Structure 1
Amino acid sequence: MLNLGILASGRGSNFQSIIDEIEAGKINATIKVLVVDNPDAYAVERAKKHSIEYLYINPKEFKSKDDFFTKIADELKARGVELVVLAGFMRIVRKPLIDAFPNKIMNIHPALLPSFPGLHGHKQAVDYGVRISGCTVHFVDEGMDTGPVIIQAAVPVSPDDTEDTLSARILKLEHKIFPEAIRLYAEGRLKVEGRVVKIKGYELEDEYIINPPLRLK
């Protein structure tokens, strides 16, 4: 069974989707601890409801960002965590945590990386006028949303979309692909080769999205 450590800063809806899939028996994993950097994060209430240990680590108590992430790494290691999951953790992960868990930290980003990295991915997509956007689960490296891609999901974008409407559409897919990426990892099916994540047993399906839809036959 895979031991997970979850890092969150806010409401934790992706955290909840992971809990639900584990409790449904679809992922062979257990959540050892939730770490938050915000004492008011609603993710804590989710942890309480499901009897999951949680820790609030205040970044202001540390002399440097590296010290803060060293503390997080130490707490995760002490609990036997094998995979770290960033479920709405609103900080750039620093080297001490990355070195402690190389290719063992997953993040989800609300855009089709490498497009629109960083904050406000939905707004960037709407402002740019793209016709397709989506979300990406990737391993974390020292860059800004630059780690190897594990799984992506795409949605059409309307010219009338706002940041909020696009966010709501993408969030539904986030709740599907983040647990799926963890399931693949738990089953030992992911292997990182350079920038490419190989998936054992992967079969490409002949599916595509065209937006606006084709009218010519």
Structure 2
Amino acid sequence: MRVAILASGNGTNFEALTKHFQSGDIPGDEVLLFCNHPDAPVMKRAERLGVPHESFTVKECGGKEKYEQRLLKLLKQYKVDIIALAGYLRVVGPTILNEYPDSILNLHPALLPSYPGLNSIQRAFDDYKKGKIKETGVTVHFIDAHLDHGPIIAQKAVPIKADDTEASLESRVHDTEHVLFPAALKKVILERMNKQ
């Protein structure tokens, strides 16, 4: 199984996944890191970790459709079987979705269907302060045409503590992501390999 990781920012989840690939914990090959921001810190992480990395923007492609066509061509060039979205802050359109049905995993910092979209941790923390919830969490799911929607692969709750700040909660959510995402990706790859 050949895996591409798509990211847009800092790349802590990319690094967590890469360490699991490089230690042999996740089977298959991490063949590509793609980032839609050439200057994002994740590009430096890829360089340091020795992962092939490519980057281009929607703007330089002349719009979303051409960007997705170019990205699909890149994924085909690297013979990618599975895509992991690790903080990739773009909605994946039909050009790529249709080519990779049930093969694109997304990581979301909430217990979906709660808090889809942006600022999930902040919104959960605000609801905790209002007495509406006691926990948030992390979800790994296959994506479909709807935002933060699709079959759930794994979820893990993160309790919100009385002395939490938004920053401390965010830190614990990220720690949970770094454990849950590699485990979920490993599970999906092993299931695919067993079917071959």
The TM-score, its normalising length taken from structure 1, stands at 0.83
In the other structure, the counterpart of 1:46 is 45
Where do 5+ consecutive residues of structure 2 fail to align? none
Q: Distance in 2 between matches of 1:188 and 1:79?
A: 22
Structure 1 partner of 2:164 = 161
Secondary structure at 2:15 match in 1 = helix
Give the residue type in structure 2 aligned to 1:87.
A
Secondary structure, counterpart of 1:84 in structure 2 = strand
> Alpha-carbon deviation of 1:55?
0.7
Whether 1:62 aligns to 2:61 is yes
Offset of 1:165 from its aligned partner? 1.6
CA distance in 1, matches of 2:47, 2:96: 25
**Native 8 Å contact 1:4 1:30 kept in 2:** yes
Given residue 117 of structure 2, which amino acid in structure 1 is its aligned partner? G
- Give the letter for the 1:6 counterpart: I
- The structure whose residues are more often helix, as a share, is 2
Aligned residue runs from structure 1 range 89-168, under 5 A: 89-129=88-128, 130-168=133-171
Distance 1:63 1:154, change over 3 A: same
What is the letter of the counterpart of residue 112 of structure 2?
Answer: L
Matched with 2:82 is: 83
Aligned to 1:215: none
Q: Flag structure 1 segments of 5+ consecutive residues without an equivalent.
A: 191-199, 201-217
Alpha-carbon separation, structure 1, partners of 2:39 and 2:125: 30
Identify the range of structure 1 (171-180 vs 25-34) with the bigger mean alpha-carbon deviation: 25-34
Tell me the distance in 2 between the aligned counterparts of 1:178 and 1:82: 17
